[in-house]
Amino acid sequence: MQNSELFFNYLSWSNPWLVAIALNTFLLAIATIAPKKLLTPAGQFHGWLLGVIIWASLGWRGYAVVMFYFLVGSGVTRIGKAQKEAEGIAEKRSGARGPENVWGSALTATFCAVGVLALSIFGDTGNIPVPQEVISLLLLGYAASFCTKLSDTCASEIGKAYGKHTFLITTLQPVPRGTEGAVSLEGTIAGIVGSILIALLSWAVGLIDLTGVVFCIIAAFIATNIESVIGATVQSKFEWLTNEVVNFFNTLIGAICAIVLAYVWKAFLA
């Protein structure tokens, strides 16, 4: 009886899916009773699902990155909240994230994480070995997508709160804070700092190397500015091009940019 219990305990805690479900269910319970809601009720369920997928795919390393993004991004959204609400440029629902926000921010990262999981399983069971380089590129894309999203969130929210001079990225003409496609020095600096922090965390937990940190920061800067161009030019022309859809394209561009930079760099060194 004792041996079977020990085996069951080992099986349970060695299974990443069971650990993921247990951990995220515990955090969901805390979020449900917390007085300040960072997610809507539907957003909490989708956040639970995202957390389960990320932990089961990448373990605590990937989970640390997504949690860092979520906590810092939620905190930055609340900076200057009263002022932004008075000006009508605050996030809806006082910054509480819904399902559309969860997946708009994390769908690209989820694709990368599931790709790593699938390749790892195939590498363990298939006859053809999976190149570690492919997994490394997917991990880089994962980190870069969150670097891009946090950069975008910091740039937008700090710019709306503290931007003294705000310009439309396509014309450099002065526009009110909160205008789609607007940029400011304060917001740009905040975005760069945000991408640096999460890139360094990704390196610290072992997802990427130091060269990858540089690629993530560059990719985040490129993608964030492309997102501003989209906001200034075509976003208002298509009803389906919501902020959440633009966020997905933003993170996808960031991930692709980082992967391309890494590939070109390797080819250059070869």
Query: What's the pTM value of the predicted model, to 2 decimals?
Result: 0.89
Summary mean pLDDT of the chain? 87
Residue 245 falls inside a structural domain: yes
Residue 42 has pLDDT above 80, yes or no: yes
Residue 230 falls inside a structural domain: yes
Residue 95 falls inside a structural domain: no
pLDDT bracket for residue 123 (50, 70, 90)? low
pLDDT of residue 13: 46
Q: Please report the DSSP string for 81-103 in residue order.
A: HHHHHHTT-SPGGGG-B-HHHHH
pLDDT of residue 161: 86
User: Which region among 37-41, 75-79, 126-130 has the lowest average model confidence (pLDDT)?
Assistant: 126-130
Q: Containing domain of residue 159, as a range?
A: 2-89+107-269
Tell me the CA distances in angstroms from 124 to 15, 68, 96, 119, one per residue in order. Answer: 16, 30, 40, 9
State the total domains in the chain: 1
Residue 210 has pLDDT above 90, yes or no: yes
Residue 197 has pLDDT above 90, yes or no: yes
Residue 99 falls inside a structural domain: no
What percent of the chain shows pLDDT beyond 70?
87
CA distance 79 to 68: 17
Residue 96 falls inside a structural domain: no
